[in-house]
Amino acid sequence: MRAVETELLDRIRVRLAERSAEPTHAQVAAALRDEGRLVGDSTVLAVVAALRLDSIGAGPLEPLLRRDGVTDVLVNGPGEAREADLGVASG
């Protein structure tokens, strides 16, 4: 997935909230146009995916949590997350 600027995500999130709109492809594309951004489909898809991760997933922690073998994630502060344990969970 393509990385999306945090500031852009915040502005799109605000625009969608003002409209009470879900982060659909069409709504995100309209919000990006309102921002004066001429973007392609890959950017729209990346913004939609990032917004959905924040609302239904674990946000920026999601990639760490989905990695095979990760049993713990340590968060030290904003922007500081790392795997704490790659051990195999006993069951």
Is the model's pLDDT at 42 over the cut of 80?
Answer: yes
pTM: 0.61
Nearest-5° angle of CA 57, CA 59, CA 61?
105
- Give the mean model confidence (pLDDT) for residues 23-48: 91
User: How far, in Å, CA of 50 to CA of 6, rounded?
Assistant: 10
pLDDT tens-digit readout, 5-27: 889 899 999 999 999 998 999 99
